[in-house]
Amino acid sequence: MSEKTTSGSGPLAEQQDVTTMQRVLDVGCGPGGWVLDVAFAYPKTHVVGIDVSPIMIEYAHAQAWAQGLNNAHFQVMDVRERLAFPDQHFDLINIRLLASVLPTYAWPPLIQACRRLLRPGGILRLTEAENGVTTRATWERIGGLCMQAMCQSVATALLLVGRRWPLPPCCARCWSTRASRILKSVPMSSIYPPAPLPTWPSVGIS
């Protein structure tokens, strides 16, 4: 039922034959990126994404509509409660990057739920990040770039939904000083044009 995923290219690159899969479920789909990728790549496959956040699901619905993906569907659903699908309903269930947000006690019931929802011979696809340890300055610089991109994305998303997320002044100063130092040391301006860092006190949740 389970399969270890090591491939990183394509939404289901490690699967030998996706054409036989009629229904796929993405647990904790967030804004729906993976669901949309699978739905686009395999138009005959019905792909469902579930997430506890109504805002994420609303956004995912809008993206599916904008891209004309009639085989992509999204539902608000809490994985800590019973998943409202029939038994043996899915050919593949995808769970990505939930280890950092799902409590340890919630995992056994979730895995049992996946067993119930998968057809005989179905695939449970679990993906988590394994962050290596390194002393190379290059990785710290790349981490700075990733932090910059993440903060800009979060800031934009919060502004779009009319929310604020203020940090305490001391934290905001520390973050801004360290991030600026890292980003200024990265000789990649020709590849990644510099962008202004978000001002955290004016961007966070009120």
Quick check: 179 and 144 in contact, CB under 8 A? yes
Looking only at the bridges linking them, the beta strands covering 46-51 and 23-27 are parallel
The DSSP bridge partners found for residue 96 are: 127
The full set of domain ranges for the chain reads 2-127, 137-202
Q: Report the pLDDT value the prediction gives residue 15, as an integer from 0 to 100.
A: 74
Give dist(CA 40, CA 155) in Å, integer.
28
**Which of the 8 DSSP states describes residue 24?**
E
Write the CA distances from 195 to 146, 167, 179, 187, 204, integer angstroms. 13, 21, 12, 14, 19
**Which of the 8 DSSP states describes residue 46?**
E
The fold for domain 2-127 equals Rossmann fold (3.40.50)
Q: Report the pLDDT value the prediction gives residue 200, as an integer from 0 to 100.
A: 40
Q: In the 3-class helix/strand/coil scheme, how is 181-197 assigned residue by residue? A: HHHHCCCCCCCCCCCCC
Q: Report the pLDDT value the prediction gives residue 164, as an integer from 0 to 100.
A: 53
What are the 10-residue block averages of pLDDT along the chain, 206 residues in total? Answer: 46 75 94 94 94 93 95 95 94 88 85 93 83 66 68 58 52 51 48 43 39
Quick check: 49 and 73 in contact, CB under 8 A? yes
Q: Report the pLDDT value the prediction gives residue 8, as an integer from 0 to 100.
A: 47
Q: Report the pLDDT value the prediction gives residue 205, as an integer from 0 to 100.
A: 39
Q: Report the pLDDT value the prediction gives residue 16, as an integer from 0 to 100.
A: 72
Give dist(CA 108, CA 88) in Å, integer.
18
Give dist(CA 171, CA 101) in Å, integer.
23
Quick check: 164 and 206 in contact, CB under 8 A? yes
Q: Report the pLDDT value the prediction gives residue 189, as an integer from 0 to 100.
A: 43
